[in-house]
Amino acid sequence: MQEQDQADKLAREEEERRAEALPFPKVRDIRVTSPWRWLGLAWQDLRSCPIPSLFYGFCFAGMGLLITFVFEHAYQYTSALTSGFLLVAPFFSMGLYEISRRRERGEACALSPTTVVWKRNAGNIGVFALVLMVIFLVWARASLVVFALFYTQEMPNLSGFLEQILAFENLEFLLVYMCVGLLFATIVFAVSVVAIPLMLDRNQDAVTAMLASVASLFKNPFTMMMWAFVIVGMTILGFVTFHVGLVIAMPLVGHATWHAYRELVEPLPTD
């Protein structure tokens, strides 16, 4: 047992030394139309590995439906938790990144290896997960505050709330809620666009991975803006189908994120 513990310790120390020796990821300029190519590659991943990909899609949809039914008559919690769940979606999409990675390498795309992929760089992924969790908790509190300050009508159930939104009732609340949500979504998008794929692919540290994500956004602002709009559009499509559309939308976004990372970040000479 002691010999095994010693071997594990030496392996971790070796991984830490390799991570410290990694250069800062070099971000490339890419075309504005690249997101459509990523989605095309994502569709190929989904068709080639349907069972593991759709497993994660059903997980996203199931969580959304569970939150909706549990808080049907308290939509201030439903909206905060559902949208907040999608704020931490980059963390829950690790299995989808791994499916694309394994397919790229010609490896089998079985489900079981993707569920424990976080072990490959557990420490740094844990730090990143903590960052996302803090953002999630702050967003949840901010969402409730916006409801308390700006929602002036009686709180309806889910269908009544959606009717009010579609009819643009309580417009002040709608504008403020969207602005606050956009702020948090922008922060998460900026720090996560290539962060977890980078940590999984190279065992990169969390801080460097987040900085590389921010650099990707600033170096390709129009492309990243288009990619963000695509993600938002697919997410809304999932919402208006009462989360059923997330079964397909989330796997596509997850697989496409891996291909975005591969195009945005220049590979190491040994890749």
Q: Of residues 105 and 149, which shows the higher confidence score?
A: 105
Q: Of residues 87 and 96, which shows the higher confidence score?
A: 96
112: in domain: yes
Query: What pLDDT does 141 receive?
Result: 83
37: in domain: no
28: in domain: no
Instruction: Provide, rounded to the nearest whole percent, the portion of the chain with pLDDT above 90.
Output: 41
Checking if the pLDDT of 215 tops 80, the result is yes
CB 103 within 8 A of CB 48: yes
164: in domain: yes
2: in domain: no
Tokens encoding 157: 């159930």
Lowest pLDDT segment from 95-99, 200-204, 240-244: 240-244
Query: What pLDDT does 76 receive?
Result: 58
Query: What pLDDT does 5 receive?
Result: 53
89: in domain: yes
pLDDT band at 13 (very low <50, low <70, confident <90, very high): low
pLDDT band at 139 (very low <50, low <70, confident <90, very high): confident
Give 27's strand partners. Answer: 265
Q: Of residues 222 and 13, which shows the higher confidence score?
A: 222
Per the structure, the count of domains in the chain is 1
Mean pLDDT over residues 13-28, rounded?
70
Checking if the pLDDT of 22 tops 80, the result is no
Checking if the pLDDT of 247 tops 90, the result is yes
pLDDT band at 49 (very low <50, low <70, confident <90, very high): very high
As a whole number, the mean pLDDT across the chain is: 82
Range of the domain at 82: 50-263
Q: CA-CA distance, 9 to 231, in Å (whole number)?
A: 40
pLDDT band at 63 (very low <50, low <70, confident <90, very high): confident
194: in domain: yes
Query: What pLDDT does 135 receive?
Result: 87
pTM score > 0.85 for this model? no
Name residue 122's amino acid: A
Q: What angle do CA 89, 95, 100 make, to 5 degrees?
A: 110
40: in domain: no
pLDDT band at 26 (very low <50, low <70, confident <90, very high): very high
Please provide residue 97's backbone torsions phi and psi, each rounded to the nearest 5 degrees: -60, -40
Q: Of residues 242 and 230, which shows the higher confidence score?
A: 230
pLDDT band at 252 (very low <50, low <70, confident <90, very high): very high
Angstrom distances, CA of residue 170 to CA of 48, 117, 143, 153, 236 = 46, 45, 16, 8, 20
Query: What pLDDT does 219 receive?
Result: 95
Name residue 271's amino acid: D
Mean pLDDT over residues 87-99, rounded?
87
